[in-house]
Amino acid sequence: MPVAKTEWKDIEGTVASVDGNGGREGYTVVFTYVVDGHWCGGTFTTFDAYRVGDTLAVRYDAKDPDRNDLSEKDKRTRWLIWIIVPVVFLIFILVRFFT
């Protein structure tokens, strides 16, 4: 059975809240957008400074408007960090142990 290809559509979103101080953790941005009268939104982490009310470009899944590119990228980045950091630490330990 073939997997359906995701059709992404562009829309303008609005920053609803910003948390953090831009330090080592960056900012957590909560944003909203409306698709056919349905309110959608998400969060992402960034080091760019946003203010409440700022607009931003959002791409959403036409079949599932609650799914958007900004939140999806943030999820992938977090998983990547959880994989890379332990691997680098393990390599560091192995190099120190065997040299």
pTM across the whole model: 0.70
The CA distances from residue 95 to 88, 90, 99, in Å, are 11, 9, 6
Q: What is the pLDDT of residue 25?
A: 81
Sheet with strand 38-46: strands edge to edge:
38-46, 27-35, 8-19, 55-61, 64-68
Query: What average pLDDT does the structure give for the chain?
Result: 84
Give which of 62, 54, 52, 50 is closest to 22, Cα–Cα. Answer: 50
Please report, as a single letter, which amino acid is at residue 76.
Answer: R
Residue 47 CA, chain-centre distance (Å), reads 12
Q: Report the 10 Å Cβ neighbour count for 61.
A: 16
The C-alpha atoms of residue 29 and residue 20 are separated, in whole angstroms, by 9
Domain residue ranges of the chain, discontinuous segments joined by +: 8-98
Q: What is the pLDDT of residues 51-90, one digit of tens each?
A: 999 999 999 999 999 999 888 775 555 555 566 667 777 7
Q: Which residue has the higher pLDDT, 4 or 65?
A: 65
The C-alpha atoms of residue 2 and residue 5 are separated, in whole angstroms, by 9
Q: Which residue has the higher pLDDT, 7 or 4?
A: 7
